[in-house]
């Protein structure tokens, strides 16, 4: 292993994680004994929510492609994103929108925070293809920091209504509700205009604004007994994964590109949680990044676990959880069709969860 962190337990790593959401995810993995992410590549809201509800108990991350959903509801309070947030809290998993931002900084900021989807509002994690350069990561980190500050505080407005005291009615003091200011008239003219003027009984309205801590923005409803036991709600943070390596055959992600991804991640440790990669990229003593890995597949139950796994004919190459987690040191395996297309997706998700967890325990010598 290139870094001793691969031999540490998830709980140990949670204590030293630089990113609050990474620390939460690592603790969540330990609580659920799951290092499985479901890639929910489906085409309708009904399919997506059904998978989230039925597979939710087995996973720690749900990966989405919102633009695949033909009937995605963009309503901020009751739409698809809000419903996913409710299921995420009920079953304790994080939502990862696999957006793969890949444009200039200003564009990716707008894609992340604006438009119909407003990804930043409902997705805990997103990712970036760093081909355009480091500016894309810089811009997303800036957008997340500004979003967090807006969500951390909300404006409270206080309005009070009253009337002058009785003794002020007969006073010879100027009536500030009708008399211009000294700056408007000049001091001498102001004094002359105010001489002998009586106050009127008027209503006085005072408006003041101040900032108070806001509640968590992740949900619009009280969860009550539906909250998952054993762990609190995720922190009010957003996280980024950098697409550093791919599982597709013939991809153009060179070692130089991957090294640049790691360098950028180290510059934004308060926002970048880790990588989409085929191996752990923690190479320096202080590296605490999480690696999430696609291209995971198990042979059928009646086939030897060492059997050669075929690709999907569209460039995807597969590896077992034992290789990805146990040998390559990755943290979370991403599985899509292997679960979704199974006769019993919930049962198959448990088979993947168990295999990936056993590979982790073997890796750390548990």
Is 312 an active-site residue?
no
Annotated active-site residue in 32, 83, 98, 331: 98
Residue 43 among known ligand-binding residues: no
String of DSSP letters for 154-198: EEEEEEEEE---GGGTT--S--TTTSPPHHHH-HHHHHHHHTTPP
Residue 336 among known ligand-binding residues: yes
Give the number of other CB atoms < 10 A from CB of residue 211: 10
In the numeric block, which tokens belong to residue 115?
A: 């438009």
SS3 36: strand
Residue 337 among known ligand-binding residues: yes
Residue 41 among known ligand-binding residues: yes
Residue 224 among known ligand-binding residues: no
Segment holding 157, helix H or strand E: strand 153-162
Residue 162 among known ligand-binding residues: no
Annotated active-site residue in 103, 138, 142, 175: 103
CA atoms of 162 and 248, how far apart (whole Å): 71
Q: Can you state the angle between helices 105-113 and 134-152, rounded to 10 degrees?
A: 40
Is 98 an active-site residue?
yes
Annotated active-site residue in 67, 73, 83, 100: 100
Nearest to 69 by CA among 124, 127, 122, 147: 122
Find tokens 């640049």 and name the residue: 260
- The 3-state secondary structure of 60-77, one letter per residue: CEEEECHHHCCCCCCCCC
C-alpha distances in angstroms, 246 versus 35, 111, 160, 280? 19, 23, 60, 13
Task: Provide the annotated active-site residues.
Answer: 98, 100, 103
Binding site for substrate: residue ranges?
41, 63, 247, 316, 336-337
Binding site per annotation, positions: 41, 63, 247, 316, 336-337
């Amino acid at each position: 292993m290139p870094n001793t962190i691969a031999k540490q337990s998830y709980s140990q790593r949670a204590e030293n994680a630089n990113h609050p959401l990474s620390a939460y995810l690592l603790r969540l993995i330990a609580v659920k004994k799951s290092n499985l992410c479901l890639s929910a590549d489906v085409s309708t809201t009904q399919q997506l929510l059904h998978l989230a509800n039925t597979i939710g108990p087995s996973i720690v991350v749900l990966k989405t492609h919102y633009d695949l959903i033909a009937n995605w509801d963009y309503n901020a309070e009751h739409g698809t994103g809000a419903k996913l947030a409710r299921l995420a809290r009920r079953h304790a998993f994080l939502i990862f929108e696999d957006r793969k931002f890949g444009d200039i900084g200003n564009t990716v900021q707008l894609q992340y925070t604006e438009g119909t989807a407003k990804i930043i509002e409902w997705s805990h994690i997103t990712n970036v293809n760093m081909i355009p350069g480091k500016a894309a990561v810089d811009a997303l980190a800036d957008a997340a920091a500004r979003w967090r500050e807006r969500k951390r505080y909300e404006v409270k407005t206080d309005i009070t209504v009253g009337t002058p005291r009785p003794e002020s009615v007969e006073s010879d003091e100027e009536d500030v509700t009708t008399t211009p200011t000294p700056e408007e008239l000049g001091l001498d003219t102001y004094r002359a205009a105010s001489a002998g003027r009586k106050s009127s009984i008027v209503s006085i309205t005072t408006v003041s604004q101040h900032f108070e801590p806001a509640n968590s923005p992740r949900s619009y409803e009280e969860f009550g007994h539906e909250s998952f036991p054993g762990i609190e709600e995720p922190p009010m943070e957003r996280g980024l994964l950098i697409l550093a390596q791919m599982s597709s055959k013939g991809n153009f992600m060179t070692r130089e590109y991957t090294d640049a991804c790691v360098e950028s991640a180290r510059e934004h440790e308060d926002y970048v949680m880790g990588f989409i990669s085929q191996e752990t990229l923690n190479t320096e003593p202080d590296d605490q990044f999480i690696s999430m890995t696609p291209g995971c597949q198990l042979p059928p139950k009646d086939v030897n676990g060492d059997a050669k796994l075929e690709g999907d004919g569209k460039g995807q190459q597969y590896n077992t959880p034992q290789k990805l987690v146990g040998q390559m040191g990755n943290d979370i395996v991403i599985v899509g069709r292997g679960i979704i297309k199974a006769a019993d997706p919930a049962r198959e998700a448990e088979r993947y969860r168990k295999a990936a967890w056993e590979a982790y325990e073997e890796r750390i010598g548990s």
